[in-house]
Amino acid sequence: MFSGYYFQNKSAPLKKVFQRSRFKGFSVKLNFSIIQMNKKLITSSILALLLPVSVLADINFNPPSGNATISPAGVVVAILNFIWPIIVAAVIIAFITAGLLFVTSQGEPGKINQARNAVIWGIAGIVVILLAFSIMSIVQVGIGIF
């Protein structure tokens, strides 16, 4: 496919080899810095994909003993762990909608006030949520559940 220039003159730079092809009127010019960058990208991608596999060495595959007792604190913690991601998603959606209200208000005082109120109520909701979770943990520690 390529001319025999490289094989006749071994001291020639590789760039000259890839500048011409056998097809008439068609020349191929490769940029070697891009090829090197692609090699680095492929190598780092393979390493990034294979690195988490080393975590599997630490997983305990033994089944539980079956003597587990369910305490009220365990139920509360399970419920809180289930609810927490839902609440975080709701807060993010609330702030995104408040931001969209600000963007689409176009300087109208009524819409700006509505967007400002949405942000204020979003912050108030975050404070209430954090207080609820902290009060729950304070009560659990105070009673001695944990």
Mean pLDDT value of segment 122-143: 83
Q: Quick one: residue 7, left, alpha or beta (phi over 0 = left, psi -120 to 50 = alpha)? A: alpha
The Cβ of residue 136 has, within 10 Å, a number of other Cβ atoms equal to 15
Return the pLDDT at 120.
Answer: 92
The residue among 21 and 43 whose pLDDT is bigger is 43
pTM for the whole structure: 0.47
pLDDT digits 0-9 by tens, 24-53: 554 445 555 666 667 778 888 888 887 777
- The whole-angstrom separation of Cα 124 and Cα 94 is 12
* Positions of E strands within the chain: none
Handedness of CA 39, 41, 44, 45 (dihedral sign): negative
**Domain boundaries of the chain, sorted by first residue:** 5-54, 72-143
pLDDT digits 0-9 by tens, 74-126: 777 788 888 888 988 888 898 999 988 888 888 889 989 998 999 998 899 88
Mean pLDDT value of segment 65-78: 73
